[in-house]
Structure 1
Amino acid sequence: MDLRQLRFFVEIARHGNFTKAAEQLHVAQPAVSMAIKKLEEELDLVLFSRQERKVALTAEGKIFLAHARRVLAEVKAAEMEMGELHGLSKGEVRVGIPPMLSAYYFPDIIRDFVRRYPNLHLSVYGEGAWRIQKMIEQGELDMGVIAAGIYPENLEVRRFLREEVVVCVPKGHSFAGRKAVSFDEFMQQPLVFYKEGYYIRELIFDVTKGTGIAPNIVFETNLFSLVKSLVRNGLGISTFLRMVVSNDEDLRAVSFDPPLYLDLLIAWKKLGYLSRANRAFVDFLLDQTKDIP
């Protein structure tokens, strides 16, 4: 068994397809297939069930996947720590940021960080908070922005921002001139809403749980720019972080009654190795936001 086999195995498990894994790895597909066949022979186990063009992990494969990810994470940590003996003259930061925040909050943070550390390579992955959490756990990201609430104990977190979740309506809507709207009133309106699993949706549904009022969802998408356009054009109303709506002349941000806030955290693996480059990003972010209540 070697690291190459483990990397191939993890990529196939991620994509559910040998060809896609080979493309991602920039390796010929027959080489990937042969490596996995040899790995299965060495283990004397079948790791994938092969059905036409799709493959799925067997029960044994699922168990082995956890071990493979752990080994690769340890190898990466060792390589990073050894490399950092040469100082913070180079390094990579891989951070996951939800699209709404990457568009409206992080541009200045990223610009100033790159100016301070021009030799570091910063990669930003735009995913939802729940997906980012999973990517950190699986070692696909070094760290990322998640929402406060229920998260696994193996994550280390620091709060850097509290932002109000508001009702978003077009400027001619009956709610536009109000200071606040109840959750019941909101749920009865035509809603342009986020898909299941999107954190703001889950937050709203958790708050309104037990009211007996079914939401009137007329359209679902996780593309927040599309949500804004559809609200602006009168299809329905929605929710956003206040920062997304506050400077839009065609939209109005109205508080919930009672107000609803979202705490945002920067998170990384508690027992994983956080490189000096990643620590520099965390420290920079927290320093930039230290005066935020």
Structure 2
Amino acid sequence: MDLRSLKYFLTVAETGGFTAAAEQLHIAQPAISMSIRKLEQQLDLPLFDRQGKQVRLTDEGEVLLRHARTIVQAVSDAERDMRELHTLEGGEVRVGIPSMLGSYYFPPILMAFRHRYPGIRLEVVEAGTRKLQQMIHSGEIDMGVIVTDDPPDDLETHRFLGAQMVAILPADHALAEADSISYDAFFAEELVLFKEGYFHREVIDQISQKAGVTPRIGFETNLIPLIKQIVAHGFGITTLLEMVVADDPALVAVPFAPTVWLDLSLAWRKGHRLSRANQTFADLVLEQAGNGNR
């Protein structure tokens, strides 16, 4: 059975005649009659009782009618879904973002994407960059934000942000007005840090290893508002992206000496063709970066 024959059969059954079906489908009546005849020959079953211009379904035709409706509707639904994906009226984007960027960099981008393409379902997963790499590999997410100091060979990466990690101190700290802070001075303090697996923590671990010191960690948490409150009340210092404290008068951002810069990229599996919805999201992220949204 082919789809066209089923459509002809369904139309004849619903209109009650070959002539009426031909008019509705805007094709010649003999073409419909021939198609139905071939379908009956293929099935070796009569589908219609023909009585002059009027026809009615046989018992066998009634059985096929149920299936034909289901099949034709399923194909119609599939075609519609494909059109929606092509025109970005539907689809899904699953993106992983570390909490710091998810809270302070991506909200305008996510809202802009949602505004432009309201029919696309947007799923945002929060996790550390190492976990996000694993989720990309396993197919749990379509793309994710990673630090590309040493990008994996099996991921395609596109840099969208260069950001400086800075020491975050309470406004009344002795070093709050300093032009920079040395690694030795930073590690002399009690620290408030993210848990392992986040780029925030990896920066500290890498610096401490180079400096040959063991960080004094007073608090471990991935909750940024809690980290800021702990630092503001003088129970430790931390390091974050400067954007996190830009509007917080209780906290001061002091650059490291030497400075610590990170390259952040949007990544997905190498050789994996992004869906139209995902490619559009990636293009928007890179477009915003090109417009100076940093």
Q: Residues 245-268 of structure 1: CA distance to partner in whole angstroms, max 9, x if unpaired?
A: 121110000000111111110001
What is the rounded CA distance, in whole Å, between the counterparts of 1:84 and 1:150 in structure 2? 38
Structure 2: tracts of 5 or more residues without a match: 1-77
Alignment map for 1:79-94 (pairs within 5 Å): 84=82, 87=86, 88-94=88-94
Helix, strand or coil: the match of 2:265?
strand
TM-superposed CA distance for 1:271, in Å, is 2.2
Q: Residues 47-99 of structure 1: CA distance to partner in whole angstroms, max 9, x if unpaired?
A: xxxxxxxxxxxxxxxxxxxxxxxxxxxxxxxxx9x954651221101101111
Q: Kindly indicate whether residue 275 of structure 2 is the aligned counterpart of residue 266 of structure 1.
A: no
Structure exhibiting the larger radius of gyration computed from Cα positions: 2
TM-superposed CA distance for 1:197, in Å, is 2.4
What is the rounded CA distance, in whole Å, between the counterparts of 2:287 and 2:153 in structure 1? 25
Helix, strand or coil: the match of 1:209?
helix
Structure 1: tracts of 5 or more residues without a match: 1-79
Q: Which amino acid aligns with 1:110?
A: L
Q: Residues 227-284 of structure 1: CA distance to partner in whole angstroms, max 9, x if unpaired?
A: 1111111110000000001211100000001111111100011122310000000011
Alignment map for 1:41-60 (pairs within 5 Å): none
Between the aligned residues of both structures, percent identity stands at: 45
* Matched residue, 1:110: 110
Mark the CA change 1:150 to 1:83 in structure 2 (over 3 Å): closer, same or farther: farther
Mark the CA change 1:168 to 1:235 in structure 2 (over 3 Å): closer, same or farther: same
- The answer to which of 179-188 and 191-200 deviates more is 191-200
Alignment map for 1:237-256 (pairs within 5 Å): 237-256=237-256
Contact 1:84–1:276 at 8 Å: present in 2 too?
Answer: no
What is the rounded CA distance, in whole Å, between the counterparts of 2:160 and 2:259 in structure 1? 20
Mark the CA change 1:273 to 1:171 in structure 2 (over 3 Å): closer, same or farther: same
What is the rounded CA distance, in whole Å, between the counterparts of 2:241 and 2:253 in structure 1? 9
Contact 2:163–2:241 at 8 Å: present in 1 too?
Answer: yes
What is the rounded CA distance, in whole Å, between the counterparts of 1:190 and 1:122 in structure 2? 39
Helix, strand or coil: the match of 2:225?
helix
Helix, strand or coil: the match of 1:102?
helix
Helix, strand or coil: the match of 2:211?
coil
Q: Residues 196-223 of structure 1: CA distance to partner in whole angstroms, max 9, x if unpaired?
A: 2222221222133242322121121222
What is the rounded CA distance, in whole Å, between the counterparts of 2:255 and 2:140 in structure 1? 36
* Matched residue, 2:211: 211
What is the rounded CA distance, in whole Å, between the counterparts of 2:246 and 2:124 in structure 1? 25
Q: Kindly indicate whether residue 213 of structure 2 is the aligned counterpart of residue 223 of structure 1.
A: no
TM-score, normalising length: structure 2:
0.69
* Matched residue, 1:171: 171
- The answer to which of 163-172 and 282-291 deviates more is 282-291
Helix, strand or coil: the match of 2:158?
strand
What is the rounded CA distance, in whole Å, between the counterparts of 1:98 and 1:210 in structure 2? 25
Mark the CA change 1:276 to 1:84 in structure 2 (over 3 Å): closer, same or farther: farther
Mark the CA change 1:236 to 1:246 in structure 2 (over 3 Å): closer, same or farther: same
Contact 1:180–1:254 at 8 Å: present in 2 too?
Answer: yes
TM-score, normalising length: structure 1:
0.69
* Matched residue, 2:285: 285
Aligned length: 214
Aligned-residue CA RMSD in angstroms? 2.0
Helix, strand or coil: the match of 2:160?
strand
